[in-house]
Amino acid sequence: MNILKKLILPALIAVPLLLTGCGSGFNPDVLEVNLNTEYSPGGLYDRTYVILTIRSIDSEPIAVTSVKVNDGRCAYTGRYNDPIRLPAYFQIGQSLQLYLRCSYDAVVKVDVETDRGTASYSFK
């Protein structure tokens, strides 16, 4: 019985410590997420683009693996309708621009999944 107590007590202490390590521990402040518009005159095709910019502001490299705008209800492309290829790998100061296919006022929430965890950014 004494051996059982010696084995169970350390296990009971260690389990909560292991479970707290399961969280992502992701700090959303390592990315800067901005929403802007860009006017592009083009004769018959004048257009205002809605651009979401994701920039790394951390000294450690980071990979963006997924981006969802309004829970996936707002699609996006690259400039000139180029497809966005994820994951995108960033060093400090590097950025990714997503051209949104929804209006500026419609963007409420952006979820950015990285190799360190996921963060949500709000615009309303």
Higher pLDDT, 31 or 4: 31
What's the whole-number mean pLDDT along residues 5-18? 41
Taking only Cα atoms into account, the Rg of the chain, rounded to an integer number of angstroms, comes to 21
User: Cα–chain-centroid distance for residue 47?
Assistant: 27
Q: Give the pair of three-digit tokens for residue 67.
A: 């981006």
Q: With a cut of 90, say whether residue 53 has pLDDT above it.
A: yes
> What's the rounded Cα separation, in Å, for the pair 64 and 91?
11
Query: For residue range 56-91, what is the model confidence (pLDDT) as tens digits?
Result: 999 999 999 999 999 999 999 998 889 999 999 999
Q: With a cut of 50, say whether residue 25 has pLDDT above it.
A: yes
Higher pLDDT, 6 or 25: 25
Q: Which domains does the chain have, with CATH numbers?
A: 24-122 (2.60.40)
> What's the rounded Cα separation, in Å, for the pair 67 and 110?
7
Give the HSE-up count for residue 64: Cα atoms under 13 Å, Cβ half-sphere.
28
